[in-house]
Amino acid sequence: MAPSLMPQAPHKDDLEQTWAFLEKGIDSVMLKLEEGVDMKTYMALYTAVHNFCTSQKAVSNGQGLQAHRGAHLLGEELYKLLGHYLSSHLGNVFKESQSHTDEALLAFYIREWVRYTTAAKYINHLFRYLNRHWVKREIDEGKKNVFDVYTLHLVKWKDDFFLQVHKKVMDAVLNLVEKQRNGETIEQSQIKSIVDSFVSLGLDESDSTKSTLEVYRYYFEKPFIAATRAYYENESRRFVSENSVVEYMKKAEARLGEEKARVGLYLHPDISKHLTDTCLDVLVTNHSEVLREEFQVLLDNERQEDLARMYRLLSRIKEGLDPLRIKFETHVRKAGLVAVEKVATDDSFEPKMYVDALLQVHTRYQSLVNEAFNGESEFVRSLDNACREFVNRNKICAASSTKSPELLAKYTDSLLKKGSKAAEETELEEMLVQIMTVFKYIEDKDVFQKFYSKMLAKRLVHVSSVSDDAETSMISKLKEACGFEYTNKLQRMFQDIQISKDLNASYKDWQVKVLDDDDRKKLVDSHFQILGTGFWPLQAPSTDFLAPPEIVKTAERFQSFYFDKHNGRKLTWLWQLCKGEIKANYIKTTKVPYTFQVSTFQMAILLLFNETDTLNYEDIQKSTSLAPEILEPNLGILLKAKVLTINQEGSKPGPGTSYSLNYNFKNKKIKVNLNIQIKSEQKVESDDTHKTVEEDRKLLLQSAIVRIMKSRKKMKHVQLVQEVIQQVKSRFPPKIPDIKKNIEALMEKDYIERLDGDEIAYIA
């Protein structure tokens, strides 16, 4: 430090001498801090404070002070004199400040603040003995307005300088911030220094060792927030009137980002929430109606980026998104209904067209929810609600609410059948996942199950599945969605097919042992499937049937083998599901004979022509015993394929007509598939399935009612209805009249009874 000359050390009992000595030293620190104080002088000042505070007697202006008032009183005198000195010094600083304005004032304030607080640290050290003893004792005794010497400096700065200049300082700060908001470059460090100063002045009056943010909040944060509100109210009002909503959103988002960055650059973190809330209130809440009005326009034009921006803004204010979710749900529902209506205009639409239309709408808006609305759960719920509506209630479903699950099951069947266009396994798996997306929205899940199980049964019986892996994958997806009970029978069907494979292998081994070579040569190549009655959705044939002798022999031989293994079981031959191949050796126009793939009924008809070239309708019916409603469509298929010709030109298949083999039959394929399902059969099958659904629903409702009543014993009728709805809604949406009807039916069967007060009781 630079050398300095000091007067002779004062007498330790003399207050005036001591203070005069200390004041010169404090002046050196306070006014000539840059020059510094040498160590010898510094120690002399420290010693003077120590000696005075420990003296037992003091003299002031020749008048004796009362004896033995001790260090307590002496410390108080020094403390007061230091306070007066600081007030006087700050009075001069204030006078000097009045000649400064705006940024010059900020520079002056910061310079003086740094000089003053640095000096305060040195002076605090000089008076350390006073702090340790007199100040500590005063504070411990609960005296107010007594602080350690450093804190005293801050208190005096606040009372004698800060309170007189804070408004001009804040005006200068706010002018700087406004310049920055208008795009000008400013000296950010000035504002940061002002903030730090305001924070430092926050003193806890009850505990001088603690600080608070009260001064900063009242004198900085409060006017800063007010100015921010006023600035953005003016700017946003002007900007909205002159620009599009989309441009305004970009501006608002940029402004919010700037204010967030401002906190990190030079504001105190405490202001963050208050500042953000104010900006959101002015920039978003005050203009939320204008933003929401634009939402539909952006949706209609699929402006994903702008929708995302709107979501980001409105998601930050209370209930900002609720009206958007309602509009979004309505929009998606309309889009779904329009998509289905386009399909419905084509009378011959395929199930694939219908499912694709549903999926396209879902995929488009699922993507929008994920990308623009951040996958937010409430928007997902709105999407789900809309999809549920247009999947279950649309133009195609108008005639029957169960049309969606039926068409979805048929589309699934087309994918899982051999010949599906989705040849790649990965592609097929993706399609099955998409099917489950639609399935999720299907309300009548029991209808899907019934159609799906019937179609699966046919695929398994006819060995027409695209792959076992694909079938298993689909069943596991259904199981995951609806539980074990939903897929139990489907899995048992698979087991039966596997058991049948093993059984056929055993049958071949048995034939080798039992039959001689000649008999084995005459064998028809056959494969049998044993299907458990309780698990397969199959019915006995609806017509009498006399199978051809060749088939009868084969069937009897297998029965003999089967009953040896399983005594007491009954076999019912499902002729309507049987099929085979026969060779057309009578056609000489090809080197390789045609092979006809036929149903057993068609096989029975064609084999009759081994004995004669021409047969009339009555002969065929008598020989096969087929009912007319089965025989006539099958004859129609053989005529259409030109395997048979009708002898009376213009006649339709039926009584009084005769049929001949067509020796001139031609086809591009050597294997000709004649086993085609007739449309009338498809309709009957569909109607039967719907009837089965109704029967099953009745049983499901009744079992739910009994289950609830058994556990509850007694309950009100209304409560019972509500509980039944809860239990079965995952399978289908029950109608209240149906529930009531089944409650009545169970009363008639004496499962439950009606008591007084609309109460129902279980009969044990």
| DSSP-assigned states of every residue in 134-149 | IIHHHHHTT-TT---H
* Residue written as token pair 């002018």: 175
Alpha-helical regions (H) of 525-566 = 549-565
Between CA 128 and CA 251 the distance in angstroms is: 56
Backbone φ and ψ of 583, nearest 5°: -95, 135
Q: Which residues contact 741 (CB under 8 A, 6 or more apart)?
A: none
DSSP code at position 661: E
Beta pairing, strands 614-616 & 579-584? unpaired
State the burial class of residue 681 (Cβ atoms within 10 Å of its Cβ: 0-12, 13-18, 19+): middle
pTM, entire model: 0.76
Chain center to CA of 691:
38
| CA distances from residue 314 to 297, 373, 463, 745 in whole angstroms, order as listed | 16, 11, 57, 54
Backbone φ and ψ of 695, nearest 5°: -65, -45
In the numeric block, which tokens belong to residue 108? 């002056």
Between CA 398 and CA 621 the distance in angstroms is: 42
In the numeric block, which tokens belong to residue 729? 């809604």
The closest alpha carbon to 330, from 394, 393, 387, belongs to 387
Determine the pLDDT at residue 13.
62
Between CA 92 and CA 89 the distance in angstroms is: 5
88: left (phi over 0), alpha (psi -120 to 50) or beta: alpha
Contact 273, 213 (CB under 8 A): no
The H helix count followed by the E strand count for the chain is: 31, 11
Q: Would you tell me which CATH number, out of the four given (3.20.20.70, 3.40.50.300, 3.90.79.10, 3.30.230.130), belongs to the domain 578-676? A: 3.30.230.130
Between CA 471 and CA 494 the distance in angstroms is: 9
Give tens-digit pLDDT for 651-707.
Answer: 677 788 888 898 888 888 888 898 887 665 666 666 677 777 777 778 888 888 888
Between CA 448 and CA 440 the distance in angstroms is: 11
CATH of domain 15-212: 1.20.1310.10
Domain boundaries, the chain: 15-212, 221-296, 321-399, 578-676, 682-762
Backbone φ and ψ of 138, nearest 5°: -60, -45
DSSP code at position 222: H
Q: Vertex 476, ends 474 and 478: CA angle to 5°?
A: 70
Alpha-helical regions (H) of 217-244 = 222-242
Overall fold of domain 682-762: Arc Repressor Mutant, subunit A (1.10.10)
- In order, the DSSP letters of 461-528 are HTT-BS-HHHHHHHHHHHHHHH-HHHHHHHHHHHHHHHHHHHHHHHHHHHHHHHS-HHHHHT------
Contact 704, 728 (CB under 8 A): yes
Q: How many CA atoms lie within 13 A of 86 on its CB side?
A: 25
**DSSP β-bridge partners for residue 311:** none
Q: Which residues of 552-573 are buried (b: 16+ CB within 10 A; e: fewer)?
A: eebbebbeebbeeeeeeeeeeb
In one-letter notation, the amino acid at residue 236 is S
Between CA 112 and CA 119 the distance in angstroms is: 10
Beta pairing, strands 714-716 & 614-616? unpaired
In one-letter notation, the amino acid at residue 39 is M
* Residue range 221-296 in CATH 1.20.1310.10: yes
Determine the pLDDT at residue 550.
83
Contact 663, 586 (CB under 8 A): yes
Q: Which residues contact 532 (CB under 8 A, 6 or more apart)?
A: 492, 496
Give the helix/strand (H/E) hosting 3.
Answer: none
State the burial class of residue 730 (Cβ atoms within 10 Å of its Cβ: 0-12, 13-18, 19+): middle
| Helix/strand/coil percent split, the chain, to 5 | 65, 5, 30
Q: Establish whether domains 15-212 and 578-676 are of one fold.
A: no
The closest alpha carbon to 109, from 201, 220, 194, 222, belongs to 194
The closest alpha carbon to 131, from 78, 84, 81, 90, belongs to 78
CATH of domain 321-399: 1.20.1310.10
In the numeric block, which tokens belong to residue 354? 């219908």
Q: What is the mean pLDDT of each run of 10 residues along the chain (764 residues)?
A: 49 74 81 71 82 62 40 74 92 93 94 92 88 85 84 92 95 95 93 93 71 90 96 95 95 95 92 95 95 95 95 94 95 95 85 94 96 95 96 86 90 87 76 94 90 91 88 92 88 89 88 73 81 85 87 87 84 89 83 88 92 89 90 90 81 80 88 79 67 80 87 85 85 84 84 82 80
Contact 324, 357 (CB under 8 A): no
Q: Vertex 248, ends 247 and 251: CA angle to 5°?
A: 90
